[in-house]
Amino acid sequence: MLAVKTLRSELNIFRRTVRLMGNQFEISVVAENPLWAEERITSAINEISRIEKLLSAFSDDSIINQINGNAGIQPVKVNAEIFRLIERSIQVSELTYGAFDITYFSGDKNNNDSIAPVTGQSNYKNIILDAKEITVFLKEKGMRLSFAANSKGYAADRAKYILQTEGVSSGVINAGGDLLAWGLQPGNEPWTIGAADPDRQDQPFANVDISNMCFATSVNTDSYAVISDKKYTSVLNVKKGFPVSAIKSASILSPTAELADAMATPIITIGVNAGLYLINQLNQIACLIIDDQNRIYTSKGIQLAD
C-alpha cells in the first residue's frame, strides 16, 4: 500500500517501501495526485531493480560474473554504464589511498586441492580499463569485483534521475539509512535530518540541511568489546594493521549518493584527523564524525543547526 502523509499544504508526501539489493528502500515524492505519484515511485523501484540485476555476480550471464570469471585470463567487453562505474570506483580508491576498494581475492583451488593463499590487500591498481575498447581486465587470477560498498548509493542516484526526468521536483530516497533529497518539502521548507549518535539513535544531536544532497552514515559496529560492563573501542587500519583514532560513526554529505556511500566507511578506517584532512581538500563534500568519547568533529563544509 502507498502511505500518504498530509502536510499543511496543497502538496502531499507519498511514500512506498520495498526491499531490494539487501536493503530497505523508501521512496518519497511530493505531489498532488496520488495515482501520478504511485506511477513515479514504481518507475524508481524498477530502476533500482535494474541496477540490482546489473551489478549481480550470481547470475551466469551477468557482466560482473564474466569479469570475475576471466580474471587473469582476458579482458571482458562491458557496457558504458559498468565501465564508468568502475572508473569512478578506482578514482575513490586513489583518493582514499586504497581504503575504498571494489576488488578482493577469492581463494582458488590449486592442483593439490588446497586453497591457494590470498595475496595482496589493495588491488584496485590491478584493474585494467581500456576506454577505446570499453573492456575491463582483472590482472591476477582469483581477483573479484564487488560493488557492495557503493551499489545502493548508485541505485539511489539512478532512481532520483528517473524521478526527476518524469517530473518529480521534490522527494527523498532512503537507501538503507542513506538519505538522498532534492527540492523542498511542502511549505517550501528544506529537507533536514537529525543525525543521531549511534548509542542514542532516538535523540538527534543536530539538524542538517540535506536538500539537493545525500547524507550517508557508516557505523563502526565491529569495533566494540565489553569487558566488566565497560565498553572499549579499538579500531585498526585494515591496510597497515596499526591503531587509528577511534570513530563510532562517520557521516558524509555530498551531491551524489554513490560518492557519499563510498566515502563513509573509509573515513572510519583512516581515523579522525586523516579523515577530516581528506574531506577538507575536496569540493562539495563534507563530513561529520563521532569518536568513542562522543566528541563531534565536522569538516569545514558542514554547519550544525541549532
Give the DSSP letter string of 112-178. Answer: TSSBPPP--S--GGGEEEETTTTEEEE-STTEEE--TTTHHHHHHHHHHHHHHHTT--SEEEEETTE
pLDDT of residue 205: 54
In 3D space, the residue among 115, 124, 125, 119 whose CA is nearest the CA of residue 105 turns out to be 119
Q: Look-up: residue for cell 544532497?
A: 213
Instruction: Name, in order, each residue with C-beta under 8 angstroms of 190's C-beta and a sequence gap of 6 or more.
Output: 184, 209, 210, 211
Q: Which three cell numbers stand for residue 106?
A: 577469492
Give pTM, 2 decimals: 0.83
- For 167, counting Cβ atoms within 10 Å of its Cβ (0-12 exposed, 13-18 middle, 19+ buried), the class is exposed
pLDDT of residue 236: 41
Chain Cα centroid distance, residue 193: 17
pLDDT of residue 119: 46
* pLDDT by 10-residue block (mean), the chain, 306 residues: 53 96 96 97 98 89 93 97 98 94 75 41 86 96 94 97 98 94 92 64 65 91 40 41 68 96 92 94 93 90 63
Instruction: Name, in order, each residue with C-beta under 8 angstroms of 188's C-beta and a sequence gap of 6 or more.
Output: none
pLDDT of residue 144: 95
Give the C-alpha separation, 25 to 45, whole Å.
Answer: 9
Domains and CATH numbers, the chain: 3-45+152-298 (3.10.520.10), 63-145 (1.10.3980.10)
In 3D space, the residue among 112, 136, 147, 140 whose CA is nearest the CA of residue 126 turns out to be 140
pLDDT of residue 152: 95
Q: Which three cell numbers stand for residue 145?
A: 569485483
